[in-house]
A and B are shown apart, each in its own frame.
Chain A
């Protein structure tokens, strides 16, 4: 009768009995899975909390159910009547401007800073509430008192200008009384990247500043609240559709509350994708620990397995008995990981809640937890099937005689296929669920490649150790022998520690290159300032002021407008098919200019430049990268909406642009003519070879003489960008450390697995007369060689990966950072030696007589 021989209930029963032995050999197994699952579940939960917050708080973040943004111009009477019909509307004007203190500071100057100006009407805000310190209604804070309009600002403006609430500050030509600081502005997130602190005034006060001139870079926001009974998503969607049909050429950007801050959402999603891939790497590193733990557990069960076989258990039953145990233990690890991951949003909220500008909906989210659990089980399967399949081949004859050499049989094809299938599922899940599949695919491909490299490196290291010349020092000889002997932890150490280290090296080299590129290695001729919103009639006066200032080495100016690409070859921009890398150019409006000559920092790639006195139909010169992304060539047409007017121009040529010079350059450069007659402002750059004080003096002089001109200090702007990068790098490094922690766990597990043979080695060496110091020396040499070799391989692999990202993906110059590598190699060697010794220290103190008696 065969009925019960391999049945599942029997396998469950026997597995349960076997598990009575306890979890002691499985601590590392459980920890590895818990760590990886916690990382993935945590990242998933936090990002879901953030995106959910963005979605649920859409009205507050947007400041309306729908927001329209116009650049350079206000809505026409017709447009305004349409959008305000049956709706509440608040209109605000936003621009960058300079704020200055009125009182002189100690040095006789007045502080000044760039501010993000927002002029609001009485209806603002439609959703959410402004919170001010001291607490007061916004209308009171901004009202005119004693002939002075009020202004409220973000707190960091106070220190920049050296002013306090109650003081006066000047913005443009107007003096404002600073009435309060802003504690919370509901729709701040949807306004995007800020170069300076917010300053808010009424729309009535704006004309007095003199900042709004023809062509000034002013953004007009129309935030719309729908009536309570017509506010459903479909109401909003059908209204915006009708709006676009009614005013197809308005050139406004329409955002609705379902995607209130697309830029922020995309950023959150991208960071989350990257971090979850890093978390997955940690899980896979932990997989090595899973495989080791399963293997050593099954090694300890060889006798039991052989007994089962003698008693008539078929191989399939043995496989099932142990698979069930492994899955049950994996369940424990995954449950711990999920519990930790579930807490992540609350932890982030408690620790950094104030720093996150998004109203996150902290909670427990099933989706990311389920996904993390799936990753955990797949990893456990992928790494456990192989040793399990080998276990079913354990010969029962071992019970009758000592096995001379372990039988090394390749698992049966079905198990090899199952392992491959689980690994494939892991990769497929990671890629399929990613918003940006190509990125995920490359990440997975790189991880697989690095895994293969490390595996080969481990074999190489063992091979080298085996072929090494016979050293005279017995200590070194033994250390090398320990690296290549059968059952040595070499492979586990190189793989697990190596993968974590490679990731860390890659991230720190990329980060070092990016921040170095931006902050430390400013091009020699980088401008000190950008002056924005210069009126054409101010240009000459400003030029003579600037060029007459000592230290100024160059002054460049170009006309500037903002425009939105409306169509490519007459195909509306929302229907144009472009590569993902070129999508950004279609999303919002772009700075455009016109020029009779080829701009500096550009080289012609295709086509020819127009004649200096060209006056024919509009022509445009296109950035080569973008032209490729758009799939357009010389002779194609581009339609741009400027100030509500559509201008169609033929592509005359394409240019390669060197953005790193930080000079003025535009993707779209038009031929003079039609654009030169449109209202526009001038953008100027100033290059200086001067002290910070001299720079400040010039800035002060320009902005007090031309209050409507805004000065952007390149150094400050770059610091703001760098700050963002640093935050991102910190998040990545933190997750990278999880990977390294997984590696360290695996290392500790491998050391623990080899503990018994370490004890025997130590005892035999002691019997032969070795002191503990000498034995310790042998171990230190072994671990140092292993750690150093692993770090070296990881450094090489990480450098290669970072080099590819920097030079191929980002197209930036590569800087080698030997310091970063040296630190990595030293730290890895130190950690390996430290952990190794920690694991073997006890082996030294075991009594030799006890071990020998037991034998």
Chain B
């Protein structure tokens, strides 16, 4: 059995609200093996995004244990979690979230700069070439198309060679053709870098391409099925 790079043990999360606490995750047990891909599917409000945030160390669970890349995230403080993300996690968002005042090259270089890499810009340039944007290095996000912006975001997510790549509906803001290109690119990068990919999507066909399909409903895992890649 391959190593489990992600291991969640009875993870719950409730958030306060005006109408009393809302239980968003209600006891999640999940393991994902190193280098595999997992598709998270489920209706709105089922807890997909929250689960992703918990994996990234952006949200603290109310109870339970999370082991990611061999580290127990529940033991860490805010800054330790930031360093953990920097060193192990890459994230791709639905809305890209590029820094508007920075060029494509600078956007990709940021996580490398955070890590104090002296060759941050050279590596960022390589990554942009890999996603086919070698000619757009000095463009600002506002000067790029949606597809190009998501490519920059992808390059940024993988620039630090993360062990885990998290994607939150990465094609949600793109047209179908561009979305398909991005998905191909993302799976390609996952293969090349050997990173574990956890992907939130509403697209059943896309989820089916993964090693496993995790179905969530009302904060609980309804089922875990083997996908086409398994």
Contacts and interface: CB of A to CB of B under 8 A. Distances in A.
Interface string A1-45: 111110100100110011111000000000000000000000000
A399 interface: yes
Nearest to B56: A310
A10 B109 CA distance: 12
Contacts of A311: 85-86, 91, 110-111, 114, 156
Task: List the 6 shortest-distance A-B pairs measured between CB atoms, nearest first.
Answer: A4-B116, A312-B86, A3-B116, A314-B79, A312-B85, A400-B49
Interface string B108-142: 00110111110000000000000000000000000
Interface stretch (A301-309, A352-360, A470-478): A301-309
Given A303-B97, A311-B114, 19 more contacts: A4-B114, A10-B113, A14-B110, A17-B106, A18-B99, A21-B100, A306-B97, A307-B98, A308-B99, A309-B82, A310-B91, A312-B83, A312-B87, A315-B82, A395-B58, A399-B93, A399-B97, A400-B58, A400-B168
A13 B116 contact: no
Given A311-B85, A314-B83, A397-B59, A4 B115 contact: yes
Interface in B67-121: 78-79, 82-87, 89, 91, 93, 95, 97-102, 106, 110-111, 113-117
Contact of A313 (B50, B82, B102): B82
A310 B84 CA distance: 10
A4 B102 CA distance: 19
Nearest to B78: A315
Interface residues of B, number: 36
B58 A309 contact: yes
Chain B CB within 10 Å — which of A7, A18, A21, A399 has the most?
A399
Interface string A285-310: 00000000000000000011011111
Contacts of B174: none
B116 A7 contact: yes
A14 B120 CA distance: 14
A4 B117 contact: yes
A5 B114 contact: yes
Nearest to B140: A20
B52 interface: yes
Nearest to A395: B58
15 contacts: A2-B116, A5-B114, A17-B99, A17-B106, A309-B58, A310-B58, A311-B86, A311-B111, A312-B83, A315-B78, A317-B114, A397-B59, A400-B49, A401-B49, A404-B17
A19 B102 CA distance: 10
Nearest to B95: A399
Nearest to B59: A397
Given A10-B113, A20-B101, A312 B49 contact: no
A21 B110 CA distance: 17
Nearest to B85: A312
B124 to A, nearest CB: 12
A1 to B, nearest CB: 6
Interface in A392-417: 395-397, 399-401, 404
Interface residues of A, number: 35
Contacts of A10: 113-114, 116
A5 B17 contact: no
B115 to A, nearest CB: 6
B37 to A, nearest CB: 20
Interface of A: 1-5, 7, 10, 13-14, 17-21, 303-304, 306-317, 395-397, 399-401, 404
Given A17-B102, A314-B82, A1 B17 contact: no
B114 to A, nearest CB: 5
Contacts of A17: 99, 101-102, 106
Interface string B132-163: 00000000000000000000000010000000
Chain B CB within 10 Å — which of A3, A312, A314 has the most?
A312
Contacts of B8: none
A818 B116 CA distance: 67
Chain B CB within 10 Å — which of A2, A313, A400, A404 has the most?
A400
A10 to B, nearest CB: 6
A308 B168 CA distance: 17
B224 to A, nearest CB: 22
A104 B16 CA distance: 96
Contacts of A310: 56, 58, 85, 91, 97
Interface in B34-70: 49-50, 52-53, 56, 58-59
Contacts of A1: 115-116
Interface string B175-188: 00000000000000
A304 B98 CA distance: 8
B93 A5 contact: no
Contacts of A3: 116
Contacts of B78: 314-315
Contacts of A304: 99-100
A5 B101 contact: no
A1 B84 CA distance: 11
A3 B17 CA distance: 40
Contacts of A5: 82-83, 86, 114-116
A13 B87 CA distance: 21
A317 B113 CA distance: 12
Chain B CB within 10 Å — which of A21, A309, A311 has the most?
A311
A791 B116 CA distance: 54
Contact of A397 (B53, B82, B86, B114): B53
B181 to A, nearest CB: 23
Nearest to A312: B86
Given A396-B58, A400-B53, A313 B114 contact: yes
Chain B CB within 10 Å — which of A17, A20, A303, A310 has the most?
A310
A395 B156 CA distance: 20
Nearest to A316: B79
Contacts of A19: 101
Contacts of A400: 49-50, 52-53, 58, 93, 168
A310 B157 CA distance: 10
A313 B111 CA distance: 8
A2 B56 CA distance: 19
B52 A312 contact: no
Contacts of A308: 99, 110
Nearest to A311: B111
Contacts of A314: 78-79, 82-83
Contacts of B59: 397
A21 B102 CA distance: 9
B18 to A, nearest CB: 8
A731 B111 CA distance: 56
